[in-house]
């Protein structure tokens, strides 16, 4: 069985990555890695579907047990990728998509040099702010924090293999599909 490919996607929050990924994930060859987090669920988010929502203590125990492929702290909460389900899906030949922030991506870059890293940029910080405010799922204080975080994250785009600007959504989706197809066709070197 041909092993699946590992694809890492980072994008400042409010970048429209959810919409892009939902298009890609219509293809059953792609598996979306459900992360663990200590943040509170947003309205409509389901445990085990959007995230595994964990208590801080449980998350820290999993860190001690080396259960994470990577993890990071982001805006006062932990986020992490559990190793076991990723390995299971890669071995089954699925292409696995990790949607994680820049510190986690850096860890994957070191641990899994075969992974492909994709960065999605918003057209501008102003557009990002408008999108976050329109989404209305966060308080103004959290939005400001996320904007500051996004500005910092956007400086890391050149540490990725591909960078896609999400200005016109349909074009960003096409760009992502093109990269994903190229990754699929890439020869496994192991
Ligand atoms: P949100 O709270 O908006 O769902 O996610 C906040 C940030 O955490 C986003 O940049 C998202 O990509 C990142 N994130 C989600 N899951 C993980 C994970 O498993 N590991 C890391 N390092 N970051 C994650």
Q: CATH number, domain at 129?
A: 3.40.50.300
Distance of CA 64 from the midpoint of ligand 1 (Å): 20
Range of the domain at 152: 6-185
Distance of CA 105 from the midpoint of ligand 1 (Å): 10
Residue 128 confidence (pLDDT):
86
- Ligand 1 pocket check for 100: Cβ under 6 Å: yes
Residue 188 has pLDDT above 80, yes or no: no
In which band, very low, low, confident or very high, does the pLDDT at 190 lie, cut at 50, 70 and 90? low
Distance of CA 1 from the midpoint of ligand 1 (Å): 31
- Ligand 1 pocket check for 16: Cβ under 6 Å: no
Residue 34 has pLDDT above 80, yes or no: yes
Looking at the domain assignment, is residue 143 inside a domain?
yes
Distance of CA 3 from the midpoint of ligand 1 (Å): 25
Residue 19 confidence (pLDDT):
87
Distance of CA 100 from the midpoint of ligand 1 (Å): 5
Q: Which of 185, 177, 156, 179 is nearest to 21 (CA)?
A: 177
CA dihedral 33, 105, 131, 51 (to 10 degrees): 30
Q: Which residue is closest in CA terms to ligand 1's atom 1?
A: 13
Residue 183 confidence (pLDDT):
95
Looking at the domain assignment, is residue 1 inside a domain?
no
Rounded to two decimals, the pTM is: 0.92
pLDDT tens digits for range 3-16: 999 999 999 877 78
* Nearest atom in ligand 1 to 35's CA: 19
* Nearest atom in ligand 1 to 103's CA: 22
Mean pLDDT value across the chain: 93
Q: Which residue is closest in CA terms to ligand 1's atom 20?
A: 80
Residue 53 has pLDDT above 90, yes or no: yes
Looking at the domain assignment, is residue 138 inside a domain?
yes
* C-alpha pair distances (Å), 115 with each of 36, 71, 107, 112, 171: 20, 16, 11, 6, 24
Structure tokens at 84: 């076991």
Residue 56 confidence (pLDDT):
98
Looking at the domain assignment, is residue 141 inside a domain?
yes
- Ligand 1 pocket check for 166: Cβ under 6 Å: no
> At 43, phi and psi to the nearest 5?
-55, 130
Rounded Cα gap, residues 79 and 72, in angstroms: 6
pLDDT tens digits for range 100-131: 999 999 999 999 999 999 999 988 889 888 88
Distance of CA 18 from the midpoint of ligand 1 (Å): 12
Rounded Cα gap, residues 105 and 113, in angstroms: 11
Looking at the domain assignment, is residue 117 inside a domain?
yes
Q: What is the mean pLDDT of residues 135-153?
A: 89
Residue 13 confidence (pLDDT):
74
The number of distinct structural domains making up the chain is 1
Residue 189 confidence (pLDDT):
67
């Amino acid at each position: 069985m041909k092993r699946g490919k590992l694809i890492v996607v980072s994008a400042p929050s409010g970048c429209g990555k959810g919409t892009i990924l939902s298009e890609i994930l219509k293809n059953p060859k792609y598996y979306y890695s459900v992360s663990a987090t200590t943040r509170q669920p947003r309205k409509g988010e389901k445990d085990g579907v959007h995230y595994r929502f964990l208590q801080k203590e449980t998350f820290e125990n999993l860190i001690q047990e080396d259960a994470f492929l990577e993890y990071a702290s982001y805006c006062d909460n932990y986020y992490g990728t559990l190793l076991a389900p990723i390995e299971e899906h890669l071995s089954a030949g699925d292409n696995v998509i990790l949607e994680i922030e820049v510190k986690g991506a850096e860890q994957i870059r070191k641990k899994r040099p075969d992974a492909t890293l994709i960065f999605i940029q918003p057209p501008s910080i102003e557009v990002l702010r408008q999108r976050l405010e329109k989404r209305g799922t966060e308080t103004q204080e959290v939005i400001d924090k996320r904007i500051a975080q996004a500005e910092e994250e956007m400086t890391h785009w050149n540490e990725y293999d591909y960078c896609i600007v999400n200005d016109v959504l349909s074009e960003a989706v096409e760009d992502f599909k093109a990269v994903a197809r190229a990754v699929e066709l890439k020869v496994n070197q192991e």
